[in-house]
Amino acid sequence: METKSSYLKFLNEEQRISVQSPHKYTQILAGPGSGKTRVLTARVAYLLQKNHIAAEDLIIATFTNKAANEIKLRIEAILGNSEASKLISGTFHSIAYKYLVKYGKHIGLSSNWLIADRNDTQAIMKRLLDSLKKAKNPIASGIRGQELTPQNALNRITKLKSNGLLVKPGMDQLSLINGLEEPPKELQSHQSVELYRLYQTSLWKNNLADFDDLLLNFILLLQKQPDCVRNIKHILIDEFQDTSKIQYFLVKLLALQNSDITIVGDPDQSIYGFRSAEIRNLNQMSEDFEGTQVLHLERNYRSAKPILELALSIISQDKSRPKKGLKSNHISSLKPHYRLFETNNKESYWIAREIKRIVGSCPELIFYNDIAILVRSSSLTRSLEHALSELGVPYRMVGVNKFFDREEIRDLIAYLRVLANKDSTSLIRVINVPPRNIGKTKIDRIIFESERRGLTFWQTLNEVKNENILLSQRNDKSFLKSLKSFLCSISKLENRYLSNGHSATLSDLLLGILSEIKYYEYLVRKNKETVEEKWENVMELVQQSDNISCIFYELDYKISTIVLLQNFLTQIALVNEEQKEGESQKVTISTLHAAKGLEWPVVFLPCLCENIIPHSRSDDLDEERRLLYVGATRAQALLYLSSFKSVTGMFADMQNSDNVQDVSPFLKGEEMKRWVMESEIVFNEKIASEIGTILGRKSYGKITNLSGIGSNANHNGTKFENLGFQCCRVLAEAELKKRERVKSVNDYNKDETNFRKHNAKRSKTDIRSWFEKKQPIDSDVEISEPSRSASIMVANKDLNDRSFETVNRIVSTRASTTNASFMSSVRQNLGRGPSTKDQVINRTLREGHQDVVQHTDLNQSNTKVASARPAGSRKRLGVRLRVSRML
C-alpha cells in the first residue's frame, strides 16, 4: 500500500490542481494521453483522505466495467481493499441496477425481476413480429409493410426510451418523464408506439427489464424516493463527453441532494453520437450548475510531438471548438508519414510490407503486437487482411470479425464446400439458409438417421427426399417440398457450372449461388441496416474468387471449374490456418471506435478518403473529424496515414460509379503539408533512440534500415535469393505446366519433351534451372541465345509491368497444388516485384545472388501496374451483377 498522500508526488502541476480542486462543481478537460485515469483515481483518494468522505458516499460512473475495475484496483493500491470495496462504482447501468435491486419496490418492481440480455430482447421481438404477420388490424398491417427485422424494431424502441418516453399500463399514448424536453413528434409514429407498447408488455409479463429500462427506472426511483441517495456526497463521472440525455438527467437528479460533482472528459473525443451521446452536456453542465470550474490537462505523456501537432491541426479545423492545446512530453524528429496510392490494394500491400520492414529494421525494439491498423468501418479490412496474410504478417481483429469469420462469408463458403464435396458440416449450415422451413428438429433427426444407417448427410437427404427414410409418422409435405427445392438448387448449380464441358470462373459460380438462393433479398429481410456492409463483403469474396481464375486465364493455363474451386477452398483453409490464435505477436486491426482509450507504439490510419472519413452516411462532420483525431492520438512513436485514388474489388461500383476517390477533406490544404512527410522513414540509431525513449525501452538489437522485404531479409543484411530469379521461376513453372497437372515439379522435370517445347539448347544456365532448389551462383556463366529468348518469351506478358501483388498472388495460388518445399522457398524470398522484364531476365540469368540494398525507397516505380483482371472483364462482370439486381 502506498503511503499517505504519496499518490500526489507522481502528478504534474495541472494534475495536482485538478485533484485538489476545492470547487463544488469541477470539469477536468483531459486531452488524450494526459493521465485522466490517474487523476480520477487520485481525486477519489483525495476526497476520501483529505475531505474525509466515506467510500460508500461516493459514486464513480464510468463507461466500461474495465475502467471501473481499473480505478478500484488503483484505489486498493493507495488505501487498501477494505475502502475500495465500499465504493459505489461501475457503469451507469450497473449503478442503476444496484439501487433498483435495493429500492425497486418503491416503484413497483417485484423482488425477482431479471435483466433481459440481447438474446432475450431479440427473441421477444422476433416472436412479436411473427405474431403481427397474422394479425388483422391497420397497425399490424403498417408494421408488416415496413418489413422490420428484430434489430430494426429494437433500435426504434431504444430511440424512444433514450428520449425519456415511457409506456404506462392502460394508456395508449407514451408519457414523458417529468423534467425532460419533448422529443420530436416524428419519433412517435403509430407503428413505433404500438410496437413499443407490445414489447414492453411482453417484458412485464416475463418480469424482465432491458438495459434502457434500468436507467429509466432509476430516474423514476430518484424522483419518487430521493432519500435513497441522500448519503451521496460526491459524484465522479468518467468520459463525460459520451453521456446521453438520460444519463445527464440522472446526474442532475443525483446532485439534487446537495452532492458535489467532478467530471472528466474531452469534447475533442466525443465520437458516440450514434449511441445518443450528447457533446452539448459539457456546456449544459456549466449552465445548470452555477460556479462550475473548468480545468485543463494539456500535458500528453503518450505521443511524440510531431504526432500531436498533426492531430491538433486536424481538430482545429472545427472553428467552433474551444481553443485548447496539447503539449508533448516526447521529442521526435520524425513527422507522421503520409502516402497517396493509386488503388486501395496497393495501399494494403504497402502497409503489409512496411510493417515487415519496421519489425525487421528495429529488432527487439518494435514487435508485431506494437502495431495497429485503425479503420473507419469493418468493411474496409478485407484488402488489408488479404495483404497481411499473403506476406505472412500475423494479425488479430478488435471490434470486427475476421473476413472469413463473418456470417455472410461463412454461408457462401459453406455453399462452395457443398458443391465441391457435399461436406456434411457445410450442408447442415446452409440447408436452412435462407430459411426453408427445415428447422433444427428436422436437421437433428436427419443427423440421427445418418449416424444410425452409416450414411453421409447428403445421402440421407436424398433418401428422405425419395421417401425411403421417414423422419416422422406423418407425411410432412411442406418439409418435403422445401427439401426437394434445396436439393434441386444444388443440382442446378452443379449442372450449370461444374459439369464436364463447362469452364466457368469462380465468380460465375458464386454469382450463380447468390442468384439461385436469392441471398441479397435474404440479407435485406434479415437486417436492412447492415445489408450494405454485408453485401460489400460478399462482393469482395466474389473478387477474391475471381483473382484465382484470372491468374490461370492470363497464363493460358486450362483448368476445370471444380479444380479452381478446390484450389480456392484450399487457399482459404491455408490462410485461416496461418492465423492461429496461439500466436502472441500479432498486429491489431481495429475500428477507430473500438480503439478509443487504447494506444500502440505504431499506428497506421489507411483509407483516409472522402466518403470514408467523413463517412458518406454521417450527418455530423465534426464528429467524423473527432474520430480521425482519436485515431491519430492512439500513436506513441510512429504514425502512418494513407489514402487512395480508386477502389479495386467487386464492390467498387457500390462505392462510386467511376471508382474514383478523393482525399479526405480533413487532410487537404497546404497547411497539412507542414505536419507530414512523404519520403520513406529511414531507420537509424538516432531514430531508434528516440523511439526507445518514448516507449521506455533502453535496450534493443542492431538497427538496420531494410529495403528488401522477405522473411529472409533481416537486419544483419543477409544475402537472399534474387527476386527477379524467383519471379521468373514461378511464372516459367506455370507456363511449362499449362498442359497438365503434375504432383510435383520434379515429376515434370523428367519429361524432356515438355522441357524442350521452346527449342532451348542445353546450357549451364537455362529454364530447367528455375526448377532447381538453388539458383546459379557463377556470375560469369555462359547463356545460350535460345535459352535467353525462351526466358524472355516466358516472362514477356506475365512479368512486364506486373505489380508485386499479382506476382505474390500467383505464388499463393500455386502453393496449394505445387511441391510444398519448392513453393515455400519461393514465398519466403518474395519481396517487391521488379519493374521491367529486361531487369528480371538480366538479373535472373547473370547476377545470381545480390545483397540487401539499404536506404532504397521500395515504393517508387516508373511502370504502370496492370490489373489482375482485364478492364473489359471487370466491366462485363459488373453488368452481370446489375442485371441480377445484386448491386
Q: Which residues are annotated as a binding site for ATP?
A: 33-38, 302
How far, in whole angstroms, is CA 670 from its chain's centroid? Answer: 32
858/873 Cα distance (integer angstroms) = 30
What secondary structure does DSSP assign to 491-544, as a single string?
HHHIIIIISTT----HHHHHHHHHHHHTHHHHHHHH-TTTHHHHHHHHHHHHHH
State phi, psi for 123 to the nearest 5 degrees.
-65, -45
Radius of gyration for the alpha carbons in the chain, expressed in angstroms and rounded? 32
How far is residue 63's CA from residue 240's CA, in Å, rounded to a whole number? 9
Distances in whole angstroms, Cα of residue 783 to Cα of each of 731, 766, 786, 839: 19, 7, 9, 16
DSSP 756-800: GGG-PPP-SS-GGGGGSSS----TT----HHHHHHHHHHHHHHHT
The alpha-helical segments, DSSP class H, found in 316-466 are 344-361, 381-390, 407-421, 424-430, 440-453, 457-465
Bridge partners, residue 615, by sequence? 611
Nearest C-alpha neighbor of 640 from the set 373, 343, 857, 332: 373
Laid out side by side, the sheet with 587-591 consists of 337-343, 635-646, 600-605, 371-375, 587-591, 395-398
Q: Which amino acid is at 731?
A: L
C-alpha cell at 309: 501537432
Q: Shortest CA distance to 510 belongs to which of 650, 659, 654, 655? A: 650
**Residue linked to cell 497481411:** 388
Q: How far apart are the first and last CA of the chain?
A: 62
CA distance 247 to 219: 9
C-alpha distances out from residue 504 to 521, 549, 885, Å: 24, 9, 20
Which residues, in sequence order, are CB contacts of 565 under 8 Å at separation 6+? 416, 419, 420, 498, 506, 509
Q: What is the DSSP string of 546-600?
A: HHHHHHHHHTT----HHHHHHHHHHHHHHHHHHT-TT----EEEEETTTTTT--E
Nine-digit cell string for 489: 438448387
| Cell representation of residue 82 | 477494505
Give every CB contact of residue 457 below 8 A, 6+ residues apart in sequence.
422, 424, 427, 428, 446, 447, 450
Three-state DSSP class for residue 817? coil
Q: Look at phi and psi of residue 87 and say left if phi exceeds 0, alpha if psi is from -120 to 50, else beta.
A: beta
Distant-in-sequence contacts of 557-562, Cβ < 8 A, 24+ apart: 557/734, 557/737, 557/738, 558/503, 558/738, 558/739, 559/741, 560/503, 561/497, 561/498, 561/502, 561/503, 561/504, 561/505, 561/506, 561/509, 562/420, 562/498
